[in-house]
Structure 1
Amino acid sequence: MDLRKVFDDLVRFETDLWNGIDARLRHDGDLPLGSLNVMLVVARTQACRVNDIAAALSITIGGASQAVDRLEKRGLCTRQPNPDDRRSSIVQLTAAGRELTESAGRIFDEELAARLGGPLSASALGHLGTALATLRAATPHSASPGEKP
């Protein structure tokens, strides 16, 4: 097995997949895929903090905080004081944020079905999902230089 070819196919496919879905979301939903990813984490995480977003998306805390700032400026989320920790905030979607997450989520699901479910059988998709989960578990997110783990 040529691992460099596997790497190239994986990375190029991820780039094409991201760009294609992002373009559709921007056009039809007025929302970039990166913002939708953040909003989906907030929607499914009880008492969501910026740290939770960073961990879920394997991005830096600074990157997650900037993403929340952008969503806040659009009126899609708010930060509320965390009653359990004065040093952090709880990120919550606004009504507009919940509505956009739902409508953009439908577009996202359509694109995933077409781009992943279309070319692959259910069995192949299951194997791909298992393989990717195994690889992610074997390669945990590590802190960037200067970032606390």
Structure 2
Amino acid sequence: MEGLRKVFDDLIRFETMLWGAIDTALETESGLTLSTFNLMWIIDSTPQCRVYDIAEALAITVGGTSQAVDRLEKAGYSIRRPHPDDRRSSIVELTPDGVAAFRKAEPVFDRALARLIGEPLSATELTHLAGALEKLRGVIAR
């Protein structure tokens, strides 16, 4: 059990440190937080993106996601449009300002990932890590 506790501790601490380092880089170089970037990334890559889609992608509640989208709208980075097929939901889209801010932040994010994960790990280690994390997420998602 002690080995599993150490792995848990290392994983959680690494996630916290990784989030902080990427968040700092993004805020410094692009003015976006990692939370904002994450929302924008999902919206940008999801056709006819709904709040529900974002919540599913981030594994958070729809209520919390709706509040985050509200903040994104207030910043002028997104808008909600009526869903053409479902009157109960809306489509979330990035505004032109949102697209510009996201495109500016993407290379900052990619450089931080390369520096903090890609460079320290070999291609084989990265493949193994990705596979292990996917497998563990699958256990929790059941």
Normalised TM-score (structure 1): 0.92
Partner-residue secondary structure (3-state), 1:13:
helix
Is 2:9 the partner of 1:8? yes
Deviation, structure 1 residue 85: 0.7
CA-to-aligned-CA distance 1:116-148 (integer Å, 9 cap, x gap): 01111111011000100111111118xxxxxxx
Please name the residue that 1:146 is paired with: none
Please name the residue that 1:31 is paired with: 32
Please name the residue that 1:106 is paired with: 107
CA-to-aligned-CA distance 1:36-62 (integer Å, 9 cap, x gap): 101000001010000000000011111
Q: Which amino acid aligns with 1:125?
A: L
Structural mapping, 1:81-92, within 5 Å: 81-92=82-93
Structure 1: runs of 5 or more not aligned: 142-149
Instruction: Give the RMSD, CA atoms, in angstroms.
Output: 1.1
Aligned residues: 141
> 1: CA distance between counterparts of 2:28 and 2:63?
27
Q: Which amino acid aligns with 2:130?
A: G
Deviation, structure 1 residue 28: 1.1
Normalised TM-score (structure 2): 0.96
Q: Which amino acid aligns with 2:42?
A: V
Structure 2: runs of 5 or more not aligned: none
Identity of aligned pairs, percent? Answer: 53
Q: Which amino acid aligns with 1:83?
A: P
Please name the residue that 1:65 is paired with: 66
> 1: CA distance between counterparts of 2:80 and 2:68?
12
Deviation, structure 1 residue 96: 1.0
CA-to-aligned-CA distance 1:80-136 (integer Å, 9 cap, x gap): 001111111100001111111111111110000000011111110110001001111
Structural mapping, 1:64-143, within 5 Å: 64-140=65-141
